[in-house]
Amino acid sequence: MITQWIRIPLERPVGFSIKTLTHREHILVRIQSDQGIEGVGFCLQDISGRAAKAAMDDLLVPMLLGEDPRNINKIWENMYWQTVRAGRRGNLLHALSAIDIALWDHQAKLAGMPLYKLLGAYREEVPCYASGGYYYEGLEVFTKLEQEIQGYMDQGFRAVKIKVGRLDPVQEAKRVKLVRDLIGPDVKLMIDANQAYLDVNECIELCKRVEEYDITFFEEPLPIDMMEAYVRLRKQTSIPLATGEVGATRWEFQELIRQGALDYIQPDATMCGGVSEWLKIAALASAQGVTIAPHYHWDVHVHLGCATREVAILEKFIGTDVKNFDLIINSPMQVTPRGTLVPPEGPGLGIEWNEQAIRKYLVDEKVMAYDSVPKGV
């Protein structure tokens, strides 16, 4: 088993409402079996790659050594319940998520089929939206936004999302109006505040200023911890609400759904507990008629979206200005002329890793040997 911590610098600083990014960090985990099959999992870890890798190396990986990698449910339960005092969310759960994704990648490769086929395909492609509208230091806010959105339209996107929450409500409303005027009435428009608003009344002010621009959903207007505040906000605005990219496990999402706080949930398999937990969350959403719009890593979510009817749309970044994970992948996924993403037909996740690039951005690596991997696996 190999764990790798990589840090990929961004070409220039890029910001959203509460933070400016200069790089992206990920943890990779590679699980090998005695047939030479390797399952690879990953998680985004901008804040503390070192902590997530330590949680993986010191707490979780020792629980896997000698286990049959096909016993995914058994392994998940053991990793989660044996570490609840160390953390049921955050760094440890992100590390657990990466391991679970690696196990499912291995399972599908063992079966010789794409992950979405192994899970029971519902469709062959999923709609996606262009995710952008970030704040770039040193660039004029409105000019940069106009150029970016026009680029998405030229590429044929039928849905876009922009950031809000860094500027005052008047300025943010001007940005939203600019985008709506550019894309016209038939293209979907979403906004994302990255949990910027701590005051429901302030958030209501922004909602009132942008409601006329037909917003498909308002993502993370408030911190996910403020569930009752979401309920209050939902009563005060006609804009559908979404959150969940930092949500943890089925239990947190169950409470969000139970309180009637949301119209869309956004579980991220690299953070919520892996493929195993994502599927449980999707089942909760299905039972309550809640729509799913997964966050970020389309390389795994395209498979989950193709296996799950409740997924309405996937997030897609163009280029590597913000999401530069594509720099360590050969043949990154492209958007179809229909504005959809199609999962690779290779076994597992179908990702071809650029090993030279991984070595270039590698911060730390640890190799752990199995002594008792079950034979025939």
The pLDDT tens digits of the residues spanning 212-231 come to 999 999 999 999 999 999 99
| Residue 373 domain flag | no
| Residue 309 domain flag | yes
67 lies in which domain range? 2-111+354-367
State whether 16 and 151 are in the same domain.
no
- Token pair belonging to 279: 């599927």
State whether 195 and 313 are in the same domain.
yes
Residue 49 has pLDDT above 90, yes or no: no
| Residue 226 domain flag | yes
State whether 235 and 308 are in the same domain.
yes
Query: Which residues contact residue 238 at a Cβ distance below 8 angstroms, ignoring those fewer than 6 apart?
Result: 211
Write down the pLDDT at residue 46.
67
* Residue pLDDT, tens place only, 121-167: 999 999 999 999 989 876 677 888 999 999 999 998 999 999 999 99
* Burial class of residue 95, CB neighbours in 10 A (0-12, 13-18, 19+): buried
3-state secondary structure at position 22: strand
| Residue 347 domain flag | no
Residue 373 has pLDDT above 60, yes or no: no
Write down the pLDDT at residue 85.
85
Residue 291 has pLDDT above 80, yes or no: yes
Q: What confidence category does residue 370 fall into, taking pLDDT thresholds of 50, 70 and 90?
A: low
Mean pLDDT of the chain: 92
State whether 43 and 163 are in the same domain.
no
Number of compact structural domains in the chain: 2
What does the pLDDT average to over 350-356? 96
State whether 142 and 210 are in the same domain.
yes
Q: What is the CATH number of the domain that holds 148?
A: 3.20.20.120
Write down the pLDDT at residue 209.
97
Residue 33 has pLDDT above 70, yes or no: yes
Write down the pLDDT at residue 138.
67
| Residue 41 domain flag | yes
State whether 287 and 160 are in the same domain.
yes
The catalytic residue among 106, 161, 163, 301 is 163
* Amino acid occupying residue 367: V
* Residue pLDDT, tens place only, 237-261: 999 999 999 999 999 999 999 988 8
Residue 316 has pLDDT above 50, yes or no: yes
Reference 275, options 28, 7, 36, 42; nearest CA is 42
Write down the pLDDT at residue 300.
97
* Residue pLDDT, tens place only, 170-213: 999 999 999 999 999 999 999 999 999 999 999 999 999 999 99
State whether 106 and 121 are in the same domain.
no
Residue that is written with structure tokens 């000698």 in the block: 66
Residue 352 has pLDDT above 70, yes or no: yes
Q: What is the CATH number of the domain that holds 44?
A: 3.30.390.10
* Residue pLDDT, tens place only, 17-32: 778 888 899 999 999 8
Residue 372 has pLDDT above 60, yes or no: no
Q: What confidence category does residue 365 fall into, taking pLDDT thresholds of 50, 70 and 90?
A: confident
Q: What is the percentage of the chain residues whose pLDDT exceeds 90?
A: 79
| Residue 277 domain flag | yes
State whether 12 and 159 are in the same domain.
no
State whether 271 and 177 are in the same domain.
yes
3-state secondary structure at position 126: strand
| Residue 279 domain flag | yes
Q: Is 163 a catalytic residue?
A: yes
What does the pLDDT average to over 47-73? 89
| Residue 377 domain flag | no
The catalytic residue among 53, 117, 295, 303 is 295
State whether 95 and 180 are in the same domain.
no
Listed in sequence order, the DSSP H helices in the chain are: 49-54, 61-64, 72-81, 91-111, 115-118, 141-154, 169-183, 200-210, 227-236, 249-258, 274-288, 298-307, 355-361
State whether 33 and 158 are in the same domain.
no
Q: Is 94 a catalytic residue?
A: no
Query: Which residues contact residue 132 at a Cβ distance below 8 angstroms, ignoring those fewer than 6 apart?
Result: 148, 149, 152, 160, 161, 162, 163, 317, 318, 322
State whether 320 and 287 are in the same domain.
yes
Residue 374 has pLDDT above 50, yes or no: no
Name residue 291's beta-bridge partners. 264
